[in-house]
A and B are shown apart, each in its own frame.
Chain A
Amino acid sequence: MPYDPKTLADLLDGRLPWAETKEIMSQQKDPERFRMVRDILQERVRFPERILLPLTPHLYIVQKGADRIVKCDCGYEFGDYRRNWKTQARVLVRDTPELMAELYHPDQGADPDWEELREFYCPGCYALLEVDAVPPGYPVLMDFLPDLDAFYRDWLGEPLP
């Protein structure tokens, strides 16, 4: 059973009371959820491109002409969705005791010799998009590469533009 858009909007915004959230968790999933959430998010963003897939609270894969790109809700474009968007981000690496201590007491943070924090920011709005906690020299992973064609064609039964 589809939920009304207001309920879903409240869910997305973390405003839905726990009792209602729990009820949603306990129910059968609503098959229309993807389309409804996509529509809600489409109304919220200020760019005209069609959202194909939400990736993170700020990033979307959108259809821009013949291209499918990653775009921030601030409008910044990260390029083709098959390339890791992190390669277009601004990066702060916390790899010294001083930088780590800005966030964690030394007893409660990682030893920067063992592990560093990499903070990836949107170059447009400087929202913090992702934090990686990895040893120095660790490759940057692409967190998620969706199979958009299979998802739309085979799972949603909906053509991609």
Chain B
Amino acid sequence: MPEQTARAVGLRRRLEEMERLYRETGHYGGIDRLTLKEQDPFRYEKVYAELRGALVSARETALHISASPIVRNIGELCFAFYTPEGDSVAVSTGIITHVHTMSEAIKFMIRNDYDQDPGIAEGDIFCNNDPDLGNVHTTDVHTIIPVFWEGEMIGWAGGVAHQVDIGASTPGHDPIATANRFEDGFYVTAEKIGERDAVRKDFKVRASRSVRTPLYWDLDEKCRLAGVYMIRDAVHRIIREEGLDYFLRFMREAIEEGRQIFLARVRERLVPGVYRTASFEDAPYAGKAWHPEQNQDRMMHAPMTITIGADGSFFLDMEGASAPGPFPFNASEGSMQGALWVLITQTLIYDGKVNDGSYLAAGHHFPRGTWCNAADPTLAYGSPWGFLIPAFTGMFRCLSRGYFARGYREEIVCGYGFTGDPTQGGGILRATGQYFPVSNFELCSVGLGARGTMDGLDAAYAMWNPEADMGDAEVWETIESGLLYLSRRIKPDTAGYGRYRGGSGWEALRLVHGVTGMELYSFRDGAVFHGGAGLFGGYPNATGYRLFLRRTNFAEVVRERRPYPLGDADPARRELDTALRGEVHRSPHALILPQTFGDDDLWLCVFSGGPGYGDPLERTPAEVCADVAGNVYLPRTAENVFGVVVRPDAAGEWRVDEAATERRRAALRADRRARSVDYATFWERERRKLLEGRIADVVRRMYRESMSGSARWAEEFRAFWQLPDGWMP
């Protein structure tokens, strides 16, 4: 096949034309009738299935090239095929958030006339990981190739994989200590890295010297390349079978159909109106930060309004979001769009054509200059998930109110746990003198929020990858060779309380062993509940916390063949530090910047449960008893929250004490009556907190950020509390 360039194609003009057609007609590419589908639906669906199958096949095959457990075992990669203008047509499984982020990267190249310079030619290879132009964070690396047919550019194939290490100022994939872009690690900003189907040697050399784990980088890149070439071959096969004209029209119809399906689902499953919620997250840096400008506590504010129009339109608005800052949780607009898209694919169009058609149909406003559209490339973007994940719990809550009203109870999900507490760092193994990374990703299995008809999934959900998998402990130990597992087990009291409980979280206890030096750090919610509460009286899932022991007598305990602790099932019992001697570090704040560790130190990972649904006093005593038996709740929680008194029988089986339960539930209801106040009293008390300045500095800072950044939100805030014009906390 002769080598061709895209110079003559005029990609920017084509992109602008597609945008004009959509703007003027409301249909993708101006296509108002799906003629291919109407004329021969079987052929149309066959082609879609072939393309989709090729993408899934590419992912399932290529991941075996990678050596990273994050890719091989957890499946943190995905592939997609795009139109020449950069709109996704079909996607694989996996971290499909990136289907849209790669779309933004392609459009960046088009808008910047890459077809003129550096040129877009057959056999070229492009790489991107820059969050400011469409990625989530630098650790997600895109490989994108243009696909040609007989000299004509017909689309793009893209693949993305999550790295073990991206060369940030601290080891790992989600840095926490960073305060600006220049600590984010290895940046590849929509760069042509290869020609004639080969990556340039100078780029390979640069990449290998830019990350701490060059072997993983190299094999991940080969994995992505193998996938995109499989996709290119599949597309060529489809064109040979169906003809080029058919394929070109098919791509556009599939996207328009994706758009139509989304709108049809909205009208089918929701109720028009205005849905509102707000989510929060803590970033407690005071006293921990390495940079002076970072050394204060901050709180993320994610207000969310979803408006379903009488015409079935969808619009998500985050006006009033708090400010970006010198922390790694800043998010680009593209990453927010990707998150919006990935949740849509899980809740409205999981059975439809999943492509950029649904993105086009989902109107949105992420205010520029806030944390959710920072629009400043000098900021740090290492871990936008830290804010983005809690923020989007609101979308599930809002949509679930619509499903409830419409009667589709089976679609309700109250939210999800925080896929947080990624233990990261690295060390030197004494036996080999070699560096080993700690780049854990078992957080990919947290509790799902309660459903409208049942409890949430235990330890089995990740909002950004519908195929959640915590990976085998043994596999993690193969790379994290100085950090052994002592246990993995369900963590009591992590599931949000409710008539239906959230999915349970879990804990893992790790032992530092055989190292000459090691550093670890991590992050998750601690001072505030992840996202918001549950639904309809359901409570939020428990927060995380930080617990580790240094300089323990673990070796002595093992030598003497005494039982060693397995975790912190009940924080009140302090299983770890009662069973071992050592320096105990326990903090309700889960964020911790890198610290050094040595042999026999113990490190606890606490993974999130999901929020609950409905009044906990309406959960059946039998269900609560089963929760206690399954270590989902402690007996005291069963009694204090659910009003269910359980006791072990002679055989040690938990049984409900029916009479005691009846008394306890009556007492809790009486307590509600006695301790609650009328709304006017509540309103006056809360208002006085503001007027008398009885709010924490971190909360005041959050309000000031939102009020300074949004006149609309400030006006609403003042109006609600009847505060004078211009009042600021």
Contacts and interface: CB of A to CB of B under 8 A. Distances in A.
B540 A108 contact: no
Q: Which of A128, A136, A142, A151 has the most B CB atoms < 10 Å from its CB? A: A128
B538 interface: yes
B277 A111 contact: no
B646 to A, nearest CB: 17
B267 A155 contact: yes
A58 B109 CA distance: 53
A92 B673 CA distance: 9
B655 interface: no
A155 B529 CA distance: 37
B676 A90 contact: yes
Contacts of A127: 537, 615, 617-618
A119 B498 CA distance: 13
Interface string A5-41: 0001001101010100100111001010110111000
A142 B543 contact: no
Contacts of B168: none
A135 interface: yes
Given A86-B679, A128-B616, A110 B720 contact: no
A144 B686 CA distance: 22
Q: Which of B499, B681, B696 has the most A CB atoms < 10 Å from its CB? A: B696
B539 interface: yes
Contacts of B694: 136
B411 interface: yes
How many A residues touch the partner, as a band?
35 or more
Contacts of A8: 407
A4 interface: no
A12 to B, nearest CB: 6
Interface residues of B, number: 92
A76 interface: no
A57 B534 contact: no
Contact of B454 (A18, A54, A90): A18
Contacts of B678: 90-91, 123
B274 A144 contact: yes
A135 B702 contact: yes
A11 B453 contact: yes
A24 B537 CA distance: 26
Contacts of A102: 640
Contacts of A87: 679
Contacts of A91: 676-679, 681-682
A110 B272 CA distance: 34
A12 B500 CA distance: 12
B626 to A, nearest CB: 14
B673 A139 contact: no
A147 interface: yes
Nearest to B304: A141
Nearest to A23: B410
B689 A136 contact: yes
A126 B672 contact: yes
Contact of A21 (B453, B617, B618, B672): B453
Interface string B667-703: 0010011011111011101110110001110110011
A142 B720 CA distance: 12
B493 A104 contact: yes
Contacts of A90: 672-673, 676-679
A29 B571 CA distance: 45
Interface stretch (B31-39, B233-241, B398-406, B424-432): B398-406
Given A55-B405, A105-B493, A107-B586, 5 more contacts: A115-B527, A134-B532, A135-B280, A135-B702, A144-B398
Interface of A: 8, 11-12, 14, 16, 18, 21, 24-26, 29, 31, 33-34, 36-38, 53-58, 86-93, 102-111, 113-115, 117-119, 121, 123, 126-147, 150-151, 154-155
